[in-house]
Amino acid sequence: MGSAVVQMVSVALGVVGLIGIVVCCAVPLWRVSAFTGSNIVTAEVIKHMYEGLWTTCVVQSTGQQQCKNFESLLDLGADRQAARALTIISGMLCCLSLLVLFCGSDFTTCVENEDVKPKISLVAGVGMLLAGILVIIPVSWFAHNTVRDFYTPLFSSSPRMELGACIFVGWAAGVLLIIAGGLLCCFSRPKQGSSGGKAKYYSNSASAPNKNYV
C-alpha cells in the first residue's frame, strides 16, 4: 500500500473522528433518563431527560421541552469539567493534525522536499493518536460514573440516568483517530534512495593532476 493511499485513508478517518468529537461536544446526549422500577408518577410528569456537557434538558408529558445551561463551573462534577476540557483539546489537536497532514502529504505540493514529508506525516500521526486518547478518556470516565450511579440504591427515588448516544459516538471517534494515527506512524518512513543521505567519494587519482617529479 502506497503512502499516498494511507494518507488519504488517514485523512478520511480523521475527518470522521473530528465530526464525532464536535457531535460529542455540542449535542446534550451524554446521559438520558431511564424510568425503571416504581417511578410511574415521575414518568407521568417528566417524559424524558437528557444531559450534555453544557446543558440539561427535560421533556414533560405535555410535550414542552425546557433546557438549562450549567451556569456555574465550580458547581459541576469533576467528570464533566474534565470532559469539557479534554474534548475541546482533542478537537483542536485533531484539527491541527489534519492541517499538518495536508501540508506534508504526498498528494499535495505544499512541501516539495521529499525527505521532510515523512517526518511531517509522523507528527500528524502522533497528534491523531493523542487526540483519540484524549476523547476516549472523558467518555469512558463519564460512562463509568453513569453506570455506577445507575446501580446505586440512593438514586432509586429519582429518574435514573443511563448512557446516551454521545458516549458511543465518542468511543467510535477515538478508535477512528487511533487507527488513523497508527497508520501514519507505521507508514511514515523515509524513502529509500533519497539523495539527502548519500555521500559522494572521488578517488585521488582521478582528481589530482598528473605531475612528474625528478
The pTM assigned to this predicted structure is 0.78
Please give the Cα distance from 116 to 121 (Å, whole number): 9
3-state secondary structure of 163: strand
- Among left, alpha and beta (phi > 0; psi -120 to 50; other), residue 40 is alpha
Residue 200 is predicted with a pLDDT of 45
Residue 136: what pLDDT? Answer: 96
Distance, in Å, from the CA atom of 75 to the CA atom of 137, rounded to the nearest integer, reads 21
Instruction: Give 47's contacts (C-beta < 8 A, 6+ positions apart).
Output: 59, 60, 61
**What is the reported pLDDT for 196?**
45
Look at residue 17 in the predicted model and tell me its pLDDT.
95
For residues 185 and 175, is the Cβ–Cβ distance under 8 A?
Answer: no
Coil/strand/helix, residue 51: strand
| Angle at 99 (CA atoms; ends 98, 101), nearest 5 degrees | 65
- Please report the pLDDT score of residue 187 as a whole number: 83
33-44 burial: b if 16+ Cβ within 10 Å, else e: bebeeebeeeee
Q: Would you state the pLDDT for residue 191?
A: 60
pLDDT tens, the chain, 214 aa long: 457 888 899 999 999 999 999 999 999 899 988 765 555 444 455 667 888 899 988 887 777 778 888 877 777 888 889 999 999 999 999 999 999 988 877 777 777 777 788 888 899 999 999 999 999 999 999 999 988 888 876 655 467 788 999 999 999 999 999 999 999 988 876 665 544 444 444 445 444 455 554 4
- Which candidate, 91, 87, 89, 121, places its Cα nearest to that of 104? 121
Amino acid identity at 17: G
